[in-house]
Structure 1
Amino acid sequence: MTLTGWPFLLLLGSIGLLCAVGTYLGWPRWPGRWALPGRAASLLLVMMLGAVIGLAEVNRSYGFYSSVSDLLGRPASARSLAVPAHPGAGPQVAVLTPDWAALGRRDGRHGHGLMLDVLYPGTRSGLTHHGLLYLPAAYFTGNLQRRFAAVEVFHGYPGSPETFPRIMNIQARLEAEIDAGRVPPVVLVIPQVYAGGQSSECVNAVHGEQWETYLSVDVLDDVIRTFRVDASRSWATLGVSTGGFCAVNIALHHPERYAAAASLSGYFTAGQDPGTPSLYQGARFASREDSPIWWVHYRTPVAPALFLSASGGDPDAMREALAMAATLRHFAPSLPTSTELVASGGHNWGVFSAAFGPAIDWIAQYLPGPLVAPPADLS
């Protein structure tokens, strides 16, 4: 049971209701000298449960912590041990959704893909975390030798992978673009991008956890080994808020793997989330290398293509987008770029959701459609 799901909230609500009823029924029944402390303790318990229920609803809305392991600051859940061994093939993604192939074939016949609950192991980074992975309907129908492009999707801080299907309804939005012919069938890879209470900014921390290695090497390689995802430069990134920073920063560092990146209300200078300056341990070079605006200024990249979006009601994101766009025009004029700025809207999921369609449509022009792998040479 996840901490962001309705079952957990309903469980807390039921416990709270039972405590309130118990306090009401027990109020006149406390004997003698126990009456005052008993009633005070009962009222305190009801108030504490009310506060816990309120915090749980805030956590559900914003995705601060998706599991008890996240809440306690542990980097991986106990289910990490469920990652199967594949001798000679390297680690693979552990699919936690039961009977997923049968479910995919059923949904595929009706034109829908399938969102999987997965674990992404990280042999190089030493990190293993829960996430989601979406397979389009075409993955389960037609030619089963086809391989697909993929988009790695990064949530913000606070947040979790579950915020994309729960708040953005990302599967329905993507399938609308696929059905309209604006996007080829693609795989969505949605990993966790931080653990505990501090943002990772998806970087390799100085003397700390190696999140960039996990997200740009471990996750990609494990997905390619597990699913029919193309191993060539047929990946893109897309992120919201802090995830937008992650999307652009990682793609700029690995243009050999990512063809495009989209930032929805993101920023482009490292160390902006609370506590993140500690990731760089005062090393100026590390924080500059992980600042996309610095990278463009001094590295003059020619890839990947970048999509930037921001809204007028979000002055920080607007200022960052304008500064990044100006830097790109001046120092990387040959790098394909699109900047989509809207007059109104704040820093929220309504804005992120509205920007998703244009962003994924723009990304699609840099991704191949489903490809049939050439036959193996048996000679």
Structure 2
Amino acid sequence: MGLTSNKVLLLSVLFAVLLFIGTVWLWPRLAKRNWRAVGGRVGLLLATQLALFVSIGLSANQAFGFYASWADLFGQETDQGVVVDHAKGGAPAGPLRVVDTRRVDGGGSGMPRFGGQIQKIAVIGRTTDIATPAYVYLPPEYFDPQNRTRTFPAAVVLTGYPGTAEALVNKLHYPSTARTLAKNGRMQPMILVMMRPTVAPPRDTECVDIPHGPQTESFFAKDLPEAVTAHYRVNKKPGGWGIIGDSTGGYCALKLAMHHPEVYGAGAGLSAYYKAPSDPTTGDLFHGNKKLRNEADLHWFLKNRSAPATSLLVTSSKAGESNYKPTLKFIELAKSTHRTRISSIILESGGHNFNTWRREIPPTLEWVSERLTAR
């Protein structure tokens, strides 16, 4: 049974309840003052508390999507290899392979033409050799025979760290939200490429080209758009791509749009921070390179580099988010450039969690859609 299985959660809760009942039942028998009775009481209390913590942890993981599997939880992921198919005659078919397909929640009959489709893909970077899974949402219009020559705008959607790509589909509901908004005329049909920014797990690379390490920024700025446009009918011209993310993914989204406006015409950071951290999950990202460190600081970048011609959206809340004051500073810096277009969503209250982001996702998708072109 998987880490996110409802059966696992139910069994953990049942085990905790049975231990609690057993502790109450056996406590009178363990009331003696000998070492066996004391050891029994200590053992029952520790076991009950451990079972309770496991149940709470499993429940929180299901709600927020921190880890997708037991291997992910214990840092033992082996899903790194990607098979690259080849066309007849030995020509490479491209660095993207569709692994599985599924319907969009609430998609009616399940036919892609009416409900859209979610494809699980495996991508390998042509220049970076970074291999990672992702999910692609294709809107119903993509499968309409009348649109067989039409290209669509695309947006990369990134989780936080550690995060799971599945959470973007199952918890944050990006595909079903995009389909509903397009159906109601509030946004144009758009392809979504949903994934983790953690493309070299378990390390948190913060979308940085690490000296002598994973070239994560290059993967998102060059390899990923190339692979997707080679496989899907996506607008290849500037202004056809956007990028969205929450938390770590939000920082990545803003940075990639600022560093590569020729690729990403719009970038939205939900609860983003503005400077790459240095902690045990990141390791040494810059290897003493002050230039790389400075350019990864988005406040520094706006003050010291030529303002990027792109559109940025930032979100925060007055109560519940630690990035509120840095977000206000970022807005003022962007406004002073007169070239970078800045927008914001500021809630009265909202924590750094899925519930807050679900409130921000619909207007964010509308905002991105308004700034991207289909051709």
TM-score w.r.t. structure 2 length? Answer: 0.81
For 1:77, the equivalent position in structure 2 comes to 79
Distance 2:73 2:94 in 1: 27
Count of aligned pairs between the two proteins: 356
Kept after mapping to 2: 8 A contact 1:308/1:321: yes
Distance 2:177 2:92 in 1: 34
Distance 2:340 2:189 in 1: 26
Deviations 1:223-278 (A, max 9, x none): 11122222222100011111110001011111111111111111112226764362
For 1:59, the equivalent position in structure 2 comes to 61
Distance 2:93 2:298 in 1: 32
For 2:372, the equivalent position in structure 1 comes to 367
Q: Which amino acid aligns with 2:184?
A: A
For 1:156, the equivalent position in structure 2 comes to 160
Matches within 5 A, 1:211-290: 211-233=216-238, 234-271=240-277, 275-276=281-282, 278-290=284-296
Secondary structure of the equivalent of 2:86? coil
Kept after mapping to 1: 8 A contact 2:96/2:122: yes
Offset at 1:211?
1.6
> Alpha carbon RMSD of aligned pairs, Å?
3.5
Question: What fraction of aligned residue pairs are identical, expressed as a percent?
Answer: 27
Matches within 5 A, 1:181-220: 181-194=185-198, 195-220=200-225
Distance 2:314 2:166 in 1: 23
Secondary structure of the equivalent of 1:134? strand
Q: Which amino acid aligns with 1:57?
A: S
For 1:303, the equivalent position in structure 2 comes to 309
**Distance of aligned partners of 1:226 and 1:109 in 2 relative to their CA distance in 1, 3 Å threshold:** closer
For 1:140, the equivalent position in structure 2 comes to 143
Which is worse superposed, 44-53 or 250-259? 44-53
Distance 1:184 1:212 in 2: 28
Q: Which amino acid aligns with 1:4?
A: T
Deviations 1:315-374 (A, max 9, x none): 4221121111111122x21222212222222222222111112212111122123x5xxx
Distance 2:319 2:278 in 1: 19
Matches within 5 A, 1:155-174: 155-174=159-178
TM-score w.r.t. structure 1 length? Answer: 0.80
Kept after mapping to 2: 8 A contact 1:157/1:199: yes
For 2:318, the equivalent position in structure 1 comes to 312
Pair 1:179-2:183 in alignment? yes
Q: Which amino acid aligns with 2:154?
A: A
Distance 2:12 2:55 in 1: 6
Q: Which of 286, 292, 295 does residue 298 from structure 2 map onto?
A: 292
Q: Which of 89, 94, 99 does residue 91 from structure 1 map onto?
A: 94
Distance 2:119 2:9 in 1: 22
Give unmatched runs, 5+ long, in structure 2.
27-35
For 1:353, the equivalent position in structure 2 comes to 358
For 2:29, the equivalent position in structure 1 comes to none
Kept after mapping to 1: 8 A contact 2:318/2:346: yes
Distance 1:117 1:10 in 2: 28
**Distance of aligned partners of 1:318 and 1:98 in 2 relative to their CA distance in 1, 3 Å threshold:** closer
